[in-house]
């Protein structure tokens, strides 16, 4: 139940922060045009809060930042990381969605997020299978 | 302060900050409860291509995100002001790129941004900077190619 609750809370945060609005996301990435700094405040608020949480909250007697599991961000590195981030950014700037906000927007029955999500699933699976096939 | 100015401060600073705090709390809750970081793309991959930990916590997390959209919608909270002029083809291309890119990079903005940056991960910082640079380029290209209507 807490998995669901954390998703719900995360989603409420995304929706209230304006991150489910592709125009706002594109506005943030529009550094050379009319720049909308909103995303910086979202990220700042989230990082400060979660950063504090990592040092204050304990699980099994250790603070969360010492939790060994759950570090997917360490899963990639080097050229793969750089290339992947470039590809991500191209898509992100084009559609104005990333996975989390798209799911929230889909929950509100938007058409664009649904199209995005269908393709997101395909892209995710394709990359996951490709990674799985070159083990070693 | 004119009404226009205060609306703009609300939507550019206060609401984003408040939403960001909720996101940070949610990420902490997930890590505390599940022992795993709240990367959405990771949860998606874990649900679609079953990982060793099993699908269920991932799937429940994703369902929570969708439910949040439903709740906000029921409460009459608008998730967006208007729409980006993009065809289905453009949205599909966007989804494909984001999906593949996130897996290759090891995370999306929630994984690298919220979780990675909070841990002061240099890899996540690099990822985020490239996300933004590449995203900025994408916006420039989109505008140049079709006047911003794809």
pLDDT at B53: 60
Judge whether residue B145 has pLDDT over 90.
no
Tokens of B78: 């608008």
B56 and A43 within 8 Å at the Cβ level: the answer is no
* CA of A3 vs chain B CAs: smallest distance (Å): 5
Q: Which residues contact B139 (CB under 8 A, 6 or more apart)?
A: A26, A29, A30, A33, A93
Q: For residue B94, what is the DSSP state?
A: H
Strand (E) or helix (H) holding A58: strand A58-59
Whether the CB of A63 is below 8 Å from some CB of chain B: the reply is: no
What confidence score (pLDDT) does residue B37 get?
74
Residues of A in Cβ contact (< 8 Å) with B142:
93-94
Percent of chain A with pLDDT over 90: 66
* B94, A98 contact by CB (below 8 A): no
User: In this predicted model, which residue has the larger pLDDT, A39 or A64?
Assistant: A39
B136-143: average pLDDT: 94
Q: How does pLDDT run across B120-134, given as a tens digit for each residue?
A: 989 999 999 999 999
- pLDDT one-digit tens code per residue, B79-118: 998 889 999 999 999 999 999 999 999 889 998 999 999 9
**Rounded Cα–Cα distance for residues B30 and B20 (Å):** 15
Q: Which two tokens stand for residue B121?
A: 């991960």
Q: What DSSP state is assigned to residue B114?
A: I
Q: Are B116 and B129 in contact (CB under 8 A)?
A: no
Report ipTM for this prediction: 0.91
Backbone φ and ψ of B73, nearest 5° = -65, -45
Query: Max Cα separation, chain B?
Result: 56
CB contact under 8 A, B99 and A123: yes
- What local confidence, expressed as pLDDT, does residue A71 receive? 59
What pLDDT was estimated at residue A83? 95
- Which residues of chain B have a CB within 8 Å of the CB of A128? 45, 48-49, 103
Model confidence band, residue A134 (pLDDT cutoffs 50, 70, 90): very low
Residue-range domain boundaries for chain A: 2-37+72-131
How does DSSP classify residue B82?
S
Name the 3-class secondary structure at A62.
strand
Q: Tell me the chain A residues in contact with residue B86 when contact means C-beta distances shorter than 8 Å.
A: 22, 94-96, 112
From the list B41, B89, B79, the residue with the least C-alpha distance to B61 is B41
pLDDT higher at A41 or A63: A41
What pTM was computed for the model? 0.91
Task: Establish, for the pair of chains A and B, how many residue pairs have beta carbons separated by less than 8 Å.
Answer: 509
A133 pLDDT band (50/70/90 cuts)?
Answer: very low
pLDDT level of residue B12 (50, 70, 90 thresholds): confident
């Amino acid at each position: 139940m807490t998995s669901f609750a954390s998703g719900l809370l995360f989603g409420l945060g995304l929706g209230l922060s304006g991150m489910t609005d592709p125009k706002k996301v594109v506005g943030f990435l529009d550094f050379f045009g009319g720049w909308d700094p909103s995303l910086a405040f979202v990220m700042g608020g989230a990082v400060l809060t979660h950063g504090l949480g990592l040092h204050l909250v304990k699980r099994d007697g250790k603070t969360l930042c010492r939790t060994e599991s759950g570090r997917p961000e360490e899963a990639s590195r080097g050229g793969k990381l750089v290339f992947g981030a470039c590809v991500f950014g191209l898509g992100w700037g084009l559609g104005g969605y990333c996975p989390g906000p798209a799911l929230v927007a889909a929950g509100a029955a938007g058409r664009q997020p649904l199209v995005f999500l269908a393709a997101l699933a395909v892209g995710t699976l394709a990359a996951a299978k490709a990674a799985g096939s070159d083990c070693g | 302060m004119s009404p226009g100015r205060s609306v703009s401060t609300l939507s550019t600073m206060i609401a984003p900050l408040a939403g960001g705090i909720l996101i940070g709390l949610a990420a902490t809750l997930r890590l505390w409860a599940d022992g795993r970081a709240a990367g959405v793309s990771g949860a998606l991959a874990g649900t679609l291509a079953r990982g060793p930990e099993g699908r269920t916590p991932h799937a429940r997390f994703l369902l929570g995100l969708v439910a949040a959209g439903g709740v906000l919608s029921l409460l009459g909270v608008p998730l967006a002001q208007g729409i980006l002029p993009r065809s289905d083809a453009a949205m599909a291309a966007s989804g494909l790129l984001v999906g593949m890119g996130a897996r290759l990079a090891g995370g999306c903005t929630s994984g690298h941004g919220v979780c990675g940056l909070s841990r002061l991960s240099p890899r996540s910082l690099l990822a985020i900077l490239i996300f933004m640079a590449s995203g900025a380029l994408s916006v420039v290209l989109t505008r140049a190619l079709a006047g911003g209507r794809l």
